[in-house]
Chain A
Amino acid sequence: AQSVTQPDIHITVSEGASLELRCNYSYGATPYLFWYVQSPGQGLQLLLKYFSGDTLVQGIKGFEAEFKRSQSSFNLRKPSVHWSDAAEYFCAVGLASFGNEKLTFGTGTRLTIIP
């Protein structure tokens, strides 16, 4: 069965510091990969997605992620975090079966930003 692992439950970084959130997946074929962000009281917002092609994908709010097939990873990065980036981040794998794009999510990483 396919699965997504986010090994870091909680990460704290200083404002202006760089960020990397880890995501590993287990899937038998080339996956569709997503990163979503959930701010307190807000719905899930798509940051970026990977379907095919260039393995480094750019997203909104200055985020990027790199698909590494050999490591089964899709880590999210940002060179300099802002206080507004404090939120919960979810990695997800899309399961394409006859057009059914149901997502399998990781358990999330909570990001705290300190001044």
Chain B
Amino acid sequence: GAGVSQSPSNKVTEKGKDVELRCDPISGHTALYWYRQSLGQGLEFLIYFQGNSAPDKSGLPSDRFSAERTGGSVSTLTIQRTQQEDSAVYLCASSLVEGSRRQYFGPGTRLTVT
């Protein structure tokens, strides 16, 4: 079946502009995660959604970052007033909460802020 998809695959934006990144999880997966991979860094947890529970936003680096998940499926990560340090690959993952706890990752969105 289809895996996790993300769009766009690449995004170049000017400093100060807002961007939206989209994630389509695997159908039926109730958990959804956003991670950020900066150049030379490991992956950094940003936010987690599980069903109708309040999201875990503990990894968001600033209040310029926000995310929502509509209908328990598609998620959008929004970065307002982008800064150059926001340049990174943003990865989305989804999983079933029970069982294997395996997270399936999408291909990522490469964001470049000029």
**Residues in B59-114 with C-beta less than 8 Å from chain A:** 59, 91, 93, 95, 97, 100-103, 105-108
CB <8 Å contact, A106 and B101: no
Across the two chains, which residue of chain A brings its CB closest to B105? A44
CB <8 Å contact, A101 and B42: no
The answer, yes or no, to whether B43 is at the interface (CB within 8 Å) is yes
**Residues in A56-112 with C-beta less than 8 Å from chain B:** 90, 92, 94, 96, 99-108
A43 to B43 Cα, complex, angstroms:
12
Chain B CB within 10 A, most for which of A41, A102, A108: A102
Contact of B91 among A6, A32, A41, A44 (CB under 8 A): A44
B: interface residue count bin: 20 to 34
A96 to B35 Cα, complex, angstroms:
17
A62 to B81 Cα, complex, angstroms:
45
CB <8 Å contact, B56 and A90: no
CB <8 Å contact, A103 and B50: no
CB <8 Å contact, B103 and A43: no
Contact of A43 among B56, B91, B97 (CB under 8 A): B91
Across the two chains, which residue of chain A brings its CB closest to B97? A99
CB <8 Å contact, A100 and B56: yes
Q: Which 7 A-B pairs have the closest CB atoms?
A: A44-B105, A107-B42, A105-B43, A105-B42, A43-B107, A43-B105, A102-B45
Chosen A-B contacts, 20 in total, with CB atoms closer than 8 Å, are A42-B107, A43-B3, A43-B107, A44-B105, A46-B102, A46-B103, A49-B102, A51-B101, A90-B42, A92-B43, A94-B101, A99-B97, A100-B50, A101-B97, A102-B48, A103-B33, A103-B43, A104-B45, A105-B44, A107-B42
> Which residues in A have some Cβ–Cβ distance to B below 8 Å?
4, 6, 32, 36, 41-46, 49, 51, 90, 92, 94, 96, 99-108
